[in-house]
Amino acid sequence: MASLITCPHCGTRPKEEFSIRGAAAPKRPSPAAKDEVWHRYVYIRDNPKGRILEYWHHVAGCRRWLVVDRDNFTHEVFGVMDASDFERARVVE
């Protein structure tokens, strides 16, 4: 049930320690991007059933932003990484 999350900095911790922001897939556009692009980023969601990347904040631990890779139907957790690593990997893509 995604009750335990393995934080890359703190180890396996209970869900209570985290605050969840939401989907990590939308990529922040440049400030100069058109309204339509910003609208998609802010409001439109893929909302897949199954595997999803989400921003979690380890508020009661290291206070780092994390990206949790999990299944939103079975609640299986596949992996957790620091959000800065996630963004860096995305830039390289």
Give the distance, in angstroms, between the CA of residue 12 and the centroid of all CA atoms in the same chain.
17
Q: What is the closest distance, in whole angstroms, from the C-beta atom of residue 1 to other proteins in the complex?
A: 5
79: which 2 tokens? 């992996």
45 or 88: CB nearest other proteins? 45
93 binds other proteins (CB under 8 A): no
44 or 91: CB nearest other proteins? 44
**H/E element, 90:** helix 83-92
Query: What CA–CA distance (Å, rounded) separates 84 from 88?
Result: 6
Binding residues for other proteins (CB under 8 A): 1-3, 14-16, 19-23, 35-36, 39-40, 42-49, 52, 54, 70, 72-75
